Copies of this chain bind each other. A is one copy, B any other.
Amino acid sequence: MTPFPARLAAASGASGSVLCVGLDPDPERMPAAFASGASETAGATGAAAFCRAIVEATAERAAAFKPNLAFFEAYGPDGWDALDAVCEAVRASGRLLILDGKRGDIGNTGRRYATSLYDRLLGDASTVAPYMGSDSVAPFLEHEGRCAFVLVTTSNPGGADLQALVARGADGDERSLWRHTADMAIRAGDGLPGTVGFVAGATRPELLAEIREAYPEAPLLVPGVGAQGGTAGDVLRANAGGPILVNSSRGILYASGGDGFERAAREAASRLADSLAP
């Protein structure tokens, strides 16, 4: 399979954009017609229908879609059926499929997660939680052409709790934990160029710039533009032209809460894609 960075470049070229649309079908925010709480089956069916409508409405200007597994998993087996359907819709759109599950585990266990994400759901990339270290990241790096976006600097208020801690490395240099994490992930992916990417929040563009400088070729997945407060301009400046996907979820999905949500989503995606044009 073609290495992920080249596939990312192709998807960006086809859509004229580095936009990733996050598919977080939140029953508290979806248009009422989709958010039936009558049963798990109805909830899951509604979530899938809503996401498929969003994919159809926004695929022209999106390079990638990112279903967050939590919103499907909450419906149990029906939710995983719904996730299958959404993944199929994303693949049919020709855009990249980023599976946001923040999984992470070691050895055979991590490999079973990777089987789920890459072999079953056919994700082009996934998000990976790094706390357990290199052997918990490695199972996600064994799939040629795919990419593991390892959590490095996240855009939530508590992101700095651990990530900003400064620690001395084996070389005696002091670095933030997020930088140790990025270095560890790159070592875990040694010899598999393009399989290691980073989740780096838009709300801390100065850290984004540091990551980009340290790893000019690593794909970045950047949440936190829009609802969480980061700006497209800041992100693009910090990124300096490297491989990147900028994610927006709520700002597109819930641009309008009722009828006309597809048109509102298309317009919101288009505006953000325009602001992200290189």
List the interface of chain A (C-beta within 8 A of B). 24, 26, 28, 40, 68, 70-71, 73-74, 76-81, 84, 102-110, 112-113, 115-116, 120-121, 129-137, 151, 154, 156-163, 165-169, 177, 180-181, 184, 188
Contact = CB atoms under 8 A, between A and B. Distances in A.
Name the 7 nearest CB pairs between A and B, nearest first. A133-B158, A133-B161, A165-B167, A135-B158, A70-B112, A134-B158, A77-B80
Contacts of A104: 102, 129
A116 B158 contact: no
Given A116-B73, A161-B184, A133 B109 contact: no
A167 B177 contact: yes
A214 B158 CA distance: 23
Pick from A26, A131, A154, A159 the residue with the most CB of B within 10 Å: A131
A102 B76 contact: no
Contact of A162 (B103, B112, B177): B177
A163 B131 contact: yes
A35 to B, nearest CB: 13
A76 B80 contact: yes
Copies of this chain per assembly: 2
Contacts of A165: 165, 167-169, 177, 180
B156 A132 contact: yes
Nearest to A188: B158
A135 B108 contact: no
A24 B106 CA distance: 12
Contacts of A103: 70, 102
Contacts of A79: 80
Contacts of A136: 154, 156, 158
B74 A116 contact: yes
A76 B71 contact: no
A129 B157 contact: no
Which interface residue of A26, A113, A151, A165 has the most chain B CB atoms within 10 A? A165
Contact of A70 (B113, B158, B167): B113
B133 A159 contact: yes
Contacts of A112: 26, 70-71, 73-74
Nearest to A155: B106
Given A70-B109, A74-B116, A120-B76, A133 B177 contact: no
B129 A102 contact: yes
A151 B74 CA distance: 22
Contacts of A102: 103-105, 129, 132
Nearest to A185: B161
A180 B177 CA distance: 12
B113 A133 contact: no
